[in-house]
């Protein structure tokens, strides 16, 4: 391998041409490879990182800190809560199962003061606790609905009377719950260390994001309550990154446990595999039989057929799209996988390519087979098809790649039927009910690249054998 | 055993007719050679017999049954192609058995036939190789083997030796003849090499431009060619042709050469033809170099010494080309002037117009 890679055209020293060749090779390699690497790295970023639009190449995240905003009797209090466990910081990005697995009540009971208020609302405990209080104290049954009631409906009930006599803690809980009082908020911020512009002393700060294009980054010191926003020079910020590979981007959709997405990825994958295999098989069969007839039989109208096939090559597929849609609708295969498979079954380019290859097979072979009492069917299967294998393999690769990557035909054929989605439609439609779930989409795009790569690796062998056999090209 | 008859067979490609009506009767068990210059229609004729080309007009009979409309697969003939046409993706064994599998022969029978044929043709060592891994001669044998295993009613060969070198060609020629001896099948063999035709054939059909010129045993064609074309085509070196006038005299017929020399023709061979312009034909071996006066003269322009015989090339006084073969080695040099006496029994006379032989059949 190494000997091959370091082979030079002259003896000994590398010549200028060698260097240029290496340079060209490396350039071409990078050109093809960089986007794939970029996709690969992005596909293992956490949902959190992707939503932040963190363009860093390294999957993982900055060390974070929680910033709490709590409304109190004497105004807003903004302060930082350090040393929170990851699951608390990332609570909103956890799946329902992961959330259920945490001991939320236990964690909250250990908290005190304003931090407890902020965490209670962050961890979604305001509602269950409020409902428990309503039930325990026998409060009016419209209270749980109060937040969503219309203004006129709210005027008919007396909320203040209902809340009278509660303990201060419960009063606050229900006021937050009914929306009378702004709830406490917790946001995750990047923890940076930077010198204080006034004192020059190194302090820890919370910033919402780091954009190196901006000269200054607004920040709040972590160790102060209600501190003013300070503008720190972005260049002076020091942030810690922890590399974190989010395999769950792959595992969740593939195991069907991705939270709140609208399409079933494994189903799409299966559909695509079926469409690709069946479609390619049909394409190869139809195209090679047509090519056989056009290259080895003489019949009336042969030239016209060929001209017709070539003429269809000139028509851009987008033009026929409406026709295809109508045809699929009319034949009733719309919405099933057949609707995707059948429209692309016979490809003029494929017929033409195979015909050109079959023309190079000597007629005498077919005549010899006829003398050997072979039926025409047998001649096709036993003589022509095996000998045209290099061309068939090449067409096979093209067909597989095309089928796998095709978006247009599935869009036309099955857009309304989620069960028949192929992988490309899936990727297009892949999003959560409320959020975009971009992390899953990136990972699944990566998965969608694997089959075509494998197919190429396995089938290219046949193409090269063919070239070696014929001794041409 | 299989006889093959052609009755006024014609073939046209579109509007051009390439075979103009051929009648031929190949008796059972005969080795028949089609010979003729390139493009004369030998292959076309053979392919029509095989069933690979449609017959445009006329009747083709195998064993007396008309087969014009019967497909190649059903005619029961086997063909060996010039390019061998071995299936490149199949092993030699598979090449041999393919035709047998197609007619659903039992496995054991296929195996024994393949092995017998392989042994007979000495290809049993390469049965598991692909054709690409064989030499030209070995491929040739496989191609013949593929025909032999079928046990066909008749064998058809289309220039099977043209891709072999000279030595192998001679050896394979002998083997095909031996094969014919052993199997006794009817065989039709196409070649443009008259030596192959002469050495192998029971009967030769000489074709020219889609017409049958003569059909007969090799020596028949050599000794009594029907016309100048056959006379010139059969025999090596070629027969000499000299323009002459045929003069019917009172007692005998005289052939007067252009330089005024007279040669008397025997009435036994030629009867009493009328006077007319004619061409005299004489084979190079039938001219004797003599010191005494003789009707033919030649100025030597080239000498080929082959050891056992010498070939002398030259021109007659009227600038017609002459070739003479002499036994053994010769002292004749370029520039010498030779007197040549033709063997009177070997003189051929052709009508100058029709080029037909004037000899009595
Ligand atoms: N498919 C065809 N279409 C038109 N003309 C053809 C076709 N095949 C053969 N011919 C013509 O028919 C004539 C006979 O061809 P054929 O192949 O039989 O010659 P041949 O005697 O076998 O010559 P060779 O010794 O060179 O093989 C030729 O003049 C050729 O041009
Ligand atoms: Mg030929």
Going by C-alpha positions, the residue among A174, A87, A85, A74 that lies closest to residue A114 is A74
User: Are B51 and B186 in a shared domain?
Assistant: yes
Among B47, B51, B85, the residue with its CB nearest the CB of A368 is: B85
Nearest residue CA, atom 24 of ligand 1?
A: B38
User: Are B298 and B318 in a shared domain?
Assistant: yes
**Cβ atoms within 10 Å, residue A215:** 10
Residue B35 CA to residue B159 CA, distance in Å, equals 10
Going by C-alpha positions, the residue among B172, B183, B11 that lies closest to residue B84 is B172
Radius of gyration of chain B (CA): 24
Residue A69 CA to residue A184 CA, distance in Å, equals 6
List the CATH number of the domain containing B294.
2.40.50.140
Instruction: Answer with the one of B201, B228, B255 that is the final residue of a domain.
Output: B228
CB contact under 8 A, A364 and B85: yes
Q: Is the pLDDT at A471 greater than 70, yes or no?
A: no
Output the CA torsion sign for A246, A250, A255, A261: positive
How large is the average pLDDT for residues A396-412?
A: 89
Q: Six-digit token pair at B333?
A: 């040099």
CB contact under 8 A, A368 and B87: yes
List the CATH number of the domain containing B220.
3.40.50.300
A468 confidence band (pLDDT: 50, 70, 90): very low
Is residue B22, in this structure, part of any structural domain at all?
yes
How large is the average pLDDT for residues A29-52?
A: 83
Going by C-alpha positions, the residue among B357, B80, B117 that lies closest to residue B216 is B357
What Å distances lie between residue A308 and A123, A320, A351, CA to CA?
67, 15, 12
> ipTM exceeding 0.90?
no
Distance from CA of B52 to the nearest CA of A (A): 7
The tally of CA atoms less than 13 A away on the side-chain side of residue A182 is 12
Q: Is the pLDDT at A472 greater than 60, yes or no?
A: no
* SS3 category, B8: strand
Is residue B356, in this structure, part of any structural domain at all?
no
Residue A462 CA to residue A387 CA, distance in Å, equals 11
Distance from CA of B360 to the nearest CA of A (A): 44
User: Are B210 and B243 in a shared domain?
Assistant: no
Residue A73 has a pLDDT of 72
Q: Six-digit token pair at A266?
A: 């494994």
Q: Is the pLDDT at A361 greater than 60, yes or no?
A: yes
Residue B33 CA to residue B42 CA, distance in Å, equals 10
Going by C-alpha positions, the residue among B309, B321, B343 that lies closest to residue B232 is B321
A473 confidence band (pLDDT: 50, 70, 90): very low
Is residue B361, in this structure, part of any structural domain at all?
no
Give the domain range for residue B136: 4-228
Interface of B with A (CB under 8 A): 47, 50-52, 71-74, 77-79, 81-83, 85-89, 98-99, 102-103, 132, 146, 150
What Å distances lie between residue A23 and A19, A26, A30, A31, CA to CA?
6, 5, 11, 12
Residue-wise pLDDT tens digits, A86-119: 888 878 777 777 788 888 888 888 888 888 888 8
Within A360-437, where are the H helices?
Answer: 363-371, 376-378, 385-387, 389-405, 408-414, 423-429
Question: For chain B, which residues score pLDDT lower than 70?
Answer: none
What distance in angstroms lies between residue B39's CA and the mean position of ligand 2's atoms?
7
Contacts of A462 in chain B (CB under 8 A): none
With tokens 């046990």, the residue in question is B151
Cα dihedral value A210, A213, A214, A215, nearest 10: 110
Residue A385 CA to residue A380 CA, distance in Å, equals 6
Q: Six-digit token pair at A84?
A: 């929170």
Going by C-alpha positions, the residue among A138, A184, A176, A139 that lies closest to residue A158 is A139
Residue A324 CA to residue B125 CA, distance in Å, equals 58
Residue A398 CA to residue A348 CA, distance in Å, equals 13
Residue A78 CA to residue B340 CA, distance in Å, equals 134
DSSP string, A423-444: HHHHHHH--BSSS--HHHHHHH
Is residue B359, in this structure, part of any structural domain at all?
no
CATH fold group of domain A254-470: MetI-like fold (1.10.3720)
Atom of ligand 1 nearest to the CA of B192: 25
Interface of A with B (CB under 8 A): 362, 364-365, 367-375, 378, 382-383, 386-387, 469
Going by C-alpha positions, the residue among B98, B155, B96 that lies closest to residue B123 is B96
Give ligand 1 pocket residues (Cβ under 6 A).
Answer: B 13, 18, 36, 38-44, 192
Task: Please name the residue of chain B whose CA is at the shortest distance from the CA of residue A378.
Answer: B102
Between the two ends of chain A, the Cα-to-Cα distance in Å is 25
Instruction: Give me the count of residues in chain B.
Output: 361
Among B52, B83, B99, the residue with its CB nearest the CB of A372 is: B99
Residue A341 CA to residue A332 CA, distance in Å, equals 13
Nearest residue CA, atom 26 of ligand 1?
A: B38
**Cβ atoms within 10 Å, residue B118:** 22
* SS3 category, B318: coil
Residue A259 has a pLDDT of 64
What Å distances lie between residue A437 and A264, A293, A445, A449, B319, CA to CA?
13, 51, 13, 19, 101
CB contact under 8 A, A364 and B81: yes
CB contact under 8 A, B88 and A387: yes
Among B40, B52, B161, residue to substitute to test ligand 1 (most atoms within 8 Å of Cβ): B40
Among A362, A371, A469, the residue with its CB nearest the CB of B79 is: A371
User: Are B41 and B127 in a shared domain?
Assistant: yes
Residue B246 CA to residue B248 CA, distance in Å, equals 7
Is residue B357, in this structure, part of any structural domain at all?
no
User: Are B250 and B122 in a shared domain?
Assistant: no
- B261's enclosing H/E stretch is none
∠ Cα B316 B292 B265 (to 5°)? 65
Mutate which of A360, A371, A384, A387 to test chain B, going by most B C-beta atoms within 10 A? A371
Q: Six-digit token pair at A469?
A: 């056999």
Bridge partner list, B325:
B311
Residue B349 has a pLDDT of 93
Among B79, B87, B146, the residue with its CB nearest the CB of A365 is: B87
Instruction: Answer with the one of B211, B228, B245 that is the final residue of a domain.
Output: B228
Q: Six-digit token pair at A225?
A: 């309550």
What Å distances lie between residue B191 and B143, B201, B213, B214, CA to CA?
17, 11, 15, 15
Residue A35 CA to residue A428 CA, distance in Å, equals 19
Please report, for chain A, the start and end positions of each structural domain, with discontinuous segments joined by +: 2-42, 61-245, 254-470
A260 confidence band (pLDDT: 50, 70, 90): low
Q: What are the backbone dihedrals phi and psi of residue A424, each rounded to the nearest 5 degrees, phi first? A: -70, -40
User: Are B66 and B198 in a shared domain?
Assistant: yes
User: Are B220 and B307 in a shared domain?
Assistant: no
Instruction: Answer with the one of B178, B200, B228 that is the final residue of a domain.
Output: B228
**Cβ atoms within 10 Å, residue A85:** 10
Residue A64 CA to residue A77 CA, distance in Å, equals 20
Q: Six-digit token pair at A56?
A: 């860093």
Residue A43 has a pLDDT of 85
Q: Is the pLDDT at A17 greater than 60, yes or no?
A: yes
Contacts of A368 in chain B (CB under 8 A): 79, 81, 85-87, 146
Is residue B280, in this structure, part of any structural domain at all?
yes
Among B12, B42, B162, residue to substitute to test ligand 1 (most atoms within 8 Å of Cβ): B42
What Å distances lie between residue A60 and A49, A55, A447, B231, CA to CA?
7, 11, 20, 97
Residue B40 has a pLDDT of 92
Structural contact between residues A95 and A243, judged by C-beta atoms closer than 8 angstroms: no
Buried b / exposed e across B273-295, counting CB within 10 Å, b at 16+? beeeebbbbbbbbbbebeeeebb
Mutate which of A364, A365, A372 to test chain B, going by most B C-beta atoms within 10 A? A372
How many independent structural domains does chain B possess?
2
Q: Six-digit token pair at A41?
A: 């790295």
CB contact under 8 A, A362 and B85: yes
Instruction: Give me the count of residues in chain A.
Output: 473
What distance in angstroms lies between residue B12's CA and the mean position of ligand 1's atoms?
11
DSSP string, A115-175: HHHHHHHHTT-HHHHHHHHHHHHT--TTGGGGGGS-HHHHHHS-HHHHHTT--HHHHHHHH
Distance from CA of B139 to the nearest CA of A (A): 14
Q: What are the backbone dihedrals phi and psi of residue B237, each rounded to the nearest 5 degrees, phi first? A: -65, 165
Please name the residues in contact with A460: beta carbons below 8 A apart, sequence gap of 6 or more: A393, A397
Residue A10 has a pLDDT of 59
Within chain B, where are the H helices?
Answer: 42-50, 72-75, 92-102, 107-120, 136-149, 166-183, 194-200, 218-223, 228-233, 267-270
Residue B309 CA to residue A52 CA, distance in Å, equals 102
Q: What are the backbone dihedrals phi and psi of residue A38, each rounded to the nearest 5 degrees, phi first? A: -60, -45
User: Are B87 and B197 in a shared domain?
Assistant: yes
DSSP string, A166-214: --HHHHHHHHHHHTSSPPPEEEEEEEEEEE-TTT--EEEEEES---TTS
Q: How far is CA B207 from the centre of its chain?
A: 9
A251 confidence band (pLDDT: 50, 70, 90): confident
Task: Please name the residue of chain A whose CA is at the shortest distance from the CA of residue B79.
Answer: A371
How large is the average pLDDT for residues A302-320?
A: 87
Residue B95 CA to residue B89 CA, distance in Å, equals 9
User: Are B108 and B89 in a shared domain?
Assistant: yes
Residue A439 CA to residue B277 CA, distance in Å, equals 103
What Å distances lie between residue A261 and A419, A429, A435, A436, A446, CA to CA?
14, 9, 9, 9, 18
* SS3 category, A386: helix
Residue A470 has a pLDDT of 41
Which residues have CB atoms below 5 A from the ion given as ligand 2?
B 43
Among A373, A383, A387, the residue with its CB nearest the CB of B99 is: A373
Residue-wise pLDDT tens digits, A119-172: 888 888 888 888 888 888 888 888 888 888 888 888 888 888 888 878 888 888
How large is the average pLDDT for residues A445-468?
A: 78
Size of interface A-B (CB pairs under 8 A): 63
Distance from CA of A284 to the nearest CA of B (A): 20
Contacts of A360 in chain B (CB under 8 A): none
Among B85, B88, B98, the residue with its CB nearest the CB of A367 is: B85
Distance from CA of A294 to the nearest CA of B (A): 18
DSSP string, B77-139: EEEE-TT----TTS-HHHHHHHHHHHTT--HHHHHHHHHHHHHHTT-GGGTTS-GGGS-HHHH
User: Are B167 and B300 in a shared domain?
Assistant: no
CB contact under 8 A, B85 and A370: no
What single DSSP character describes residue A228?
P
């Amino acid at each position: 391998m190494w000997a091959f890679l370091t082979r030079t055209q002259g003896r000994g020293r590398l010549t200028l041409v060698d260097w240029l060749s290496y340079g060209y090779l490396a350039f071409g390699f990078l050109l093809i490879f960089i986007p794939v690497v970029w996709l690969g790295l992005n596909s293992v970023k956490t949902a959190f990182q992707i939503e932040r639009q963190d363009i860093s190449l390294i999957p993982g995240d900055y060390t974070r800190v929680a910033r709490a905003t709590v409304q109190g009797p004497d105004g807003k209090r903004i302060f930082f809560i350090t040393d929170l466990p990851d699951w608390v910081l990332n609570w909103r990005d956890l799946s329902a199962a992961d959330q259920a697995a945490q001991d939320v009540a236990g964690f909250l009971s250990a908290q005190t003061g304003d931090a407890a208020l902020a965490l209670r609302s962050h961890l979604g405990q305001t509602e269950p606790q409020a409902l428990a209080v309503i039930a325990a104290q026998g409060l009016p049954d419209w209270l749980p609905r109060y937040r969503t009631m219309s203004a006129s409906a709210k005027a008919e009930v007396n909320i203040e009377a209902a809340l009278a006599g509660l303990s201060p803690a419960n009063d606050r809980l229900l006021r937050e719950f009914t929306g009378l009082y702004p709830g406490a908020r917790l946001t995750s911020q990047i923890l940076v260390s930077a010198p204080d512009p006034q004192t020059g002393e190194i302090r820890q700060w919370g910033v919402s994001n780091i954009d190196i294009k901006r000269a200054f980054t607004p920040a709040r010191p972590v160790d102060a309550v209600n501190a003013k926003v300070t503008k720190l020079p972005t260049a002076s910020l020091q942030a810690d990154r922890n590399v974190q590979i989010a395999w769950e981007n792959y595992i969740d959709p593939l195991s069907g446990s991705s939270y709140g997405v609208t399409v079933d990825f494994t189903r799409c994958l299966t559909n695509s595999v079926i469409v690709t295999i069946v479609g390619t098989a049909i394409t190869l069969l139809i195209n090679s039989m047509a090519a056989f007839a056009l290259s080895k039989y003489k019949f009336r109208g042969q030239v016209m057929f060929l001209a017709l096939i070539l003429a269809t090559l000139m028509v851009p597929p987008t033009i026929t799209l409406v026709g295809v849609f109508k045809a699929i609708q009319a034949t009733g295969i719309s919405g099933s996988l057949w609707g995707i498979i059948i429209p692309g079954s016979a490809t003029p380019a494929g017929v033409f390519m195979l015909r050109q290859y079959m023309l190079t097979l000597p007629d005498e072979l077919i005549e010899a087979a006829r003398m050997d009492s072979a039926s025409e069917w047998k001649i096709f299967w036993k003589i022509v098809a095996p000998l045209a294998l290099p061309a068939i393999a090449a067409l096979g690769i093209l067909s597989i790649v095309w089928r796998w990557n095709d978006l247009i035909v599935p869009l036309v054929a099955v857009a309304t039927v989620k069960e028949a989605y192929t992988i490309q439609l899936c990727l297009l439609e892949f999003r959560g009910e409320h959020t975009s779930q971009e992390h899953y989409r990136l990972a699944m795009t990566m998965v969608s690249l694997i089959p075509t790569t494998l197919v190429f690796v396995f089938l290219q062998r046949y193409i090269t054998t063919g070239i070696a056999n014929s001794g041409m090209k | 055993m299989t006889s093959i008859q052609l009755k006024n067979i014609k073939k046209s490609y579109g509007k051009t007719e390439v075979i103009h009506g051929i009648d031929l009767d190949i008796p059972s068990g005969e080795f028949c050679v089609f010979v003729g210059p390139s493009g004369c229609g030998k292959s076309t004729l053979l392919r029509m017999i095989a069933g690979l080309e449609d017959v445009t007009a006329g009747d083709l009979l195998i064993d007396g049954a008309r087969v014009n409309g019967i497909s190649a697969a059903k005619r029961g003939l086997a063909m060996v192609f010039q390019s061998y046409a071995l299936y490149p993706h199949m092993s030699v064994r598979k090449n041999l058995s393919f035709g047998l599998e197609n007619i659903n022969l039992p496995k054991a029978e296929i195996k024994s036939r393949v092995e017998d044929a392989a042994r007979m043709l000495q290809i049993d060592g390469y049965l598991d190789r692909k054709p690409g891994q064989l030499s030209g001669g070995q491929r040739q044998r496989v191609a013949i083997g593929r025909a032999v295993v079928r046990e066909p009613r008749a064998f058809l060969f289309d220039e099977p030796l043209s891709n072999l070198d000279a030595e192998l060609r001679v050896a394979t020629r002998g083997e095909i003849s031996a094969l014919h001896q052993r199997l006794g099948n009817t065989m039709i063999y196409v070649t443009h090499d008259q030596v192959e035709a002469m050495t192998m054939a029971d009967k030769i059909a000489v074709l020219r431009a889609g017409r049958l010129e003569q059909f007969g045993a090799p020596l028949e064609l050599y000794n009594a060619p029907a016309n100048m074309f056959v006379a010139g085509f059969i025999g090596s070196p070629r027969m000499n042709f000299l323009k002459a006038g045929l003069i019917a005299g009172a007692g005998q017929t005289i052939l007067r050469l252009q330089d005024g020399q007279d040669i008397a023709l025997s009435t036994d061979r030629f009867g009493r033809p009328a006077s007319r312009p004619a061409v005299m034909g004489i084979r190079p071996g039938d001219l004797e170099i003599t010191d005494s006066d003789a009707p033919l003269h030649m100025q030597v322009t080239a000498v080929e010494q082959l050891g056992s015989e010498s070939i002398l090339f030259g021109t007659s006084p009227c600038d017609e080309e002459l070739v003479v073969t002499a036994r053994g080695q010769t002292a004749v040099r370029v520039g010498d002037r030779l007197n040549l006496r033709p063997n009177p029994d070997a003189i051929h006379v052709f009508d100058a117009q029709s080029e037909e032989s004037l000899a009595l059949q």
